[in-house]
Amino acid sequence: MSHRPDHAGSSTGSLTGGVLAVLVSALAEGRTLTQGLADAKDCPVQRAGHEETLGALEQAERLAASTSAPAAAIAELGEGWIAEEALAIAVYCALVARDFRHGVVLAVNHDGDSDSTEAITGNLLGARYGVSAIAAEWLEPLELREVIAKIAEDLFAFREWQLGASSEDDDRNRRIRDKYPE
């Protein structure tokens, strides 16, 4: 996401990055995007200069609930060259998507920073639907596919890992720390 400092010294880029993390986490936990958005909108409010990020999210929600054509709605959200626009376009596309393919195709078919909006949309829909929703013809040519799949599995399962001094499985702790050193 683009980085743009605001007048208070924080950045829209870090705010939108935090919002995206909250959204992906909520979706990975099985919550809906709407539920995740309710939590995520609390994140920027805690920081100075949050108005652009919060406003963009709320606009994406309004447009997703409207009868606006997707191309017009995306154009109204911006071109995606700055962080809050890219996130808003991705949130809009994820909200109106019938499935993974539909959402990422919407996100990539505009005149702005479509590779960024598609990537963010893919993160949201991937967390929502999982890898099984991605077309085989998109997965087959993917470089390092097995490595990426294993990392994705680990990210999904990490909340269940019992690491640290209270863990009774020292061998598992060692394997995980060897795989992902600090």
Note the pLDDT of residue 173: 74
Mark the binding-site residues, compressed into ranges. 113, 115-116
Positions in the chain whose pLDDT score sits under 70: 1-10, 43-48, 159-169
Q: According to the model, what pLDDT value does residue 89 have?
A: 98
Ramachandran region, residue 97 (left: φ > 0; alpha: ψ -120 to 50; beta: rest): beta
Predicted model pTM: 0.82
Residue limits of CATH 1.10.4080.10 in the chain: 12-135
Q: Which two tokens stand for residue 141?
A: 């040519």
For 111, phi then psi, to 5°, come to -85, 0
Write out the binding residues for Mg(2+). Answer: 113, 115-116
How far is it, in rounded angstroms, from Cα 155 to Cα 134?
A: 18
User: pLDDT tens digits for 23-60?
Assistant: 998 998 889 999 999 988 876 666 667 888 899 999 99
pLDDT of residue 123: 94
> Domain 12-135 belongs to what topology?
ADP-ribosylglycohydrolase fold (1.10.4080)
- Look at the alpha carbons of 139, 142, 146, 152 in this order and tell me if their dihedral is positive or negative: negative
130-141 per-position pLDDT tens digit: 888 999 999 999
